Amino acid sequence: MNVQIESLNNGLIVSCQPVPGGAMDDDVYVVGFALAALSAGARGVRIESARYVAAVRQATPAPIIGLVKRDLTDSPVRITPFVDDVFALAQAGADIIAFDATDRVRPANVEALAQAVRDAGKLSMADCSSVDDARRALAAGVDYVGSTMSGYTGGPEPTEPDIELVARLRALTPNVIAEGRIRTPEQAQAAAKAGAACVVVGSAITRTEHVTDWFARALDAVYAPVPVVLPMVLGVDLGGTKIRASLVQAGAVLDTVVFATDRAGQPDGWLRAISDATLLWRGRYARVGMAVTGAVRNGAWRAMNTATLGLEGDFPLQAQAEAIFGVPVTIANDAQAAAWGEFRASADPSDLVFLTLSTGLGGGIVAQGRLMQGLAGHFGQMRVGDEPLEATLCGPWIAAEAHRLGHACQPKYVFDAAIAGEDWAMGIIDAVSARFARLCCDIQVMLDPARIVIGGGVGLADGFIERVQQHIARMCPAAAPQLQAARLGHEAGIIGIADLAQSDRMALYSISRKSGIAFTSGKCVKTRG
């Protein structure tokens, strides 16, 4: 018999989703959590995967919200991305089928998923990140809208639930499910008062690793000696010209190697070269952070411009790096990592944009204390005619232009010649500075950051920022950005990615099963040969 739309109303739903690959990722625990929750007053359960839905369905007639989570390389959408997933969940016995309803690149659109749920004779729940998502989903005929995806479509995860979104969804429909970061009875009450028809609680009830982590951190703060000694991180900054690897602890660089990127090579070779160059540090670091030129999404890495680095297609960087280094690996775009490094290194909490002028032209944005991820900040990919902006705004263009004028030399010597007053070189540097100034002015009117921080081999070259400032003063006096050289210099990316890796505690769980290494609050213990 199909459940009625009212069956979940005015109640608690417990999401029983074990940490993937964790110790509780098994039928017996999922069914146990579901039955325990239902026996204590939950009105329904939210269950991931057709296998677990089928197992729970055998054990109880209570309403089940089913979903499937997938990590796709060509889409950030994770929750029930395919129409076939809908049918599998329906077949397994789900009453309500949840799917991601965000407006992102996706294999199946919201209309097709909503229709598939109807075809299967089930109710649908659209997991939304915003009011616009919900509006579109309701137009597609979904039964419930949830606040599930709020805070998960870019930037670091917030810690608080998005009660305001719940209230805004309630203005659209009474069928609102509050979900996401609800950890206390008081937060659940706030969601209900904001108008949620029912409230989903997950991690706080069924993710032992998360709850243990909250308590362990709280106790660490009391028991650990102050200052807390943070474990070392191997930070890597892989650019189109050079690779820098450093041992980093608490924001301080302890040791560094720098070597040329083999531009004719491929990712496996670059990873091997990094591993070889840092072999002596093995055993000293507990995590690895890799900042790489190119776009980073869901553990995969892809070049935006193969002229900057000749990487073809998607490369599963996180998994491959974890296999090589044997510790959890956090990955990010190089300029975004540098933006974060600069943000953390300064006491100023206002918004900043970081620009690296190097082999390519990269950028990162920190807004309201959050690093924007995905493609955000890829200013070098903005089009000028058919070409990306970075085609004429990067180190290799300076070298090519010098060559064209009969001076075969590296950008550094073009800068030296410009300082020495040679016309040909002054012309080149002036053209680059003017283009860069225009970009800074455009960024200022788009994002109005408190400062634009500049890094990269060319960005930090002698006299470059001063020349850019001269152009800005002429070009856009009313919207002149505040320019600063990166205070961390060429280490901004390394320090930024080390900090991101340091705080990426959840990465610990992702490889604990695969590697046979169990991690307990920063220490690591080998559990099998």
Interface residues with ligand ADP (CB under 6 A) are 239-242, 358-359, 395-396, 410-412, 415, 456-458, 461
- What is the nearest approach in angstroms of ligand BMX to the Cβ of residue 303? 4
User: Quick one: 177 or 339, whose CB is closer to ligand BMX?
Assistant: 339
Q: Is 173 strand, coil or helix?
A: coil
Check whether the bond before 231 is cis (ω within 30° of 0).
no
- What is the nearest approach in angstroms of ligand BMX to the Cβ of residue 18? 35
The interface partner of residue 242, options being ligand ADP, ligand BMX, none and the CB cut-off 5 to 8 Å by kind, is ligand ADP
Cβ atoms of 286 and 498 within 8 Å: the answer is: no
Q: CA dist 506 to 101, 117, 221, 255, Å?
A: 25, 32, 18, 26
The interface partner of residue 66, options being ligand BMX, ligand ADP, none and the CB cut-off 5 to 8 Å by kind, is none
User: Quick one: 42 or 338, whose CB is closer to ligand ADP?
Assistant: 338
The interface partner of residue 309, options being ligand BMX, ligand ADP, none and the CB cut-off 5 to 8 Å by kind, is ligand BMX
User: Quick one: 341 or 411, whose CB is closer to ligand ADP?
Assistant: 411
Euclidean distance between CA atoms 68 and 48, whole angstroms: 5
DSSP 314-333: -B-HHHHHHHHHSS-EEEEE
The interface partner of residue 303, options being ligand BMX, ligand ADP, none and the CB cut-off 5 to 8 Å by kind, is ligand BMX
The interface partner of residue 461, options being ligand ADP, ligand BMX, none and the CB cut-off 5 to 8 Å by kind, is ligand ADP
- What is the nearest approach in angstroms of ligand BMX to the Cβ of residue 250? 25
- What is the nearest approach in angstroms of ligand BMX to the Cβ of residue 270? 12
User: Quick one: 183 or 244, whose CB is closer to ligand BMX?
Assistant: 244
- What is the nearest approach in angstroms of ligand BMX to the Cβ of residue 305? 4
User: Quick one: 169 or 304, whose CB is closer to ligand BMX?
Assistant: 304
Euclidean distance between CA atoms 159 and 499, whole angstroms: 18
- What is the nearest approach in angstroms of ligand ADP to the Cβ of residue 305? 12
Q: Which residues bind ligand BMX (CB under 6 A)?
A: 239-240, 293-295, 303-305, 308-309, 333-335, 356, 358-362, 378, 380-381, 390
Give the list of residues 6+ apart from residue 198 with CB closer than 8 angstroms, or none: 8, 9, 10, 11, 12, 13, 43, 44, 177, 178
Euclidean distance between CA atoms 432 and 426, whole angstroms: 10
Angle at which helices 411-419 and 423-447 pack, to 10 degrees? 110
Q: Is 260 strand, coil or helix?
A: strand
Strand partners, 287: 233
The interface partner of residue 410, options being ligand ADP, ligand BMX, none and the CB cut-off 5 to 8 Å by kind, is ligand ADP
CA-based nearest residue to 504, from 487, 482, 519, 526: 519
The interface partner of residue 305, options being ligand ADP, ligand BMX, none and the CB cut-off 5 to 8 Å by kind, is ligand BMX
Label the pairing between strands 352-357 and 451-455.
parallel
Cβ atoms of 227 and 207 within 8 Å: the answer is: no
- What is the nearest approach in angstroms of ligand ADP to the Cβ of residue 411? 4
- What is the nearest approach in angstroms of ligand ADP to the Cβ of residue 444? 23
The interface partner of residue 341, options being ligand ADP, ligand BMX, none and the CB cut-off 5 to 8 Å by kind, is none
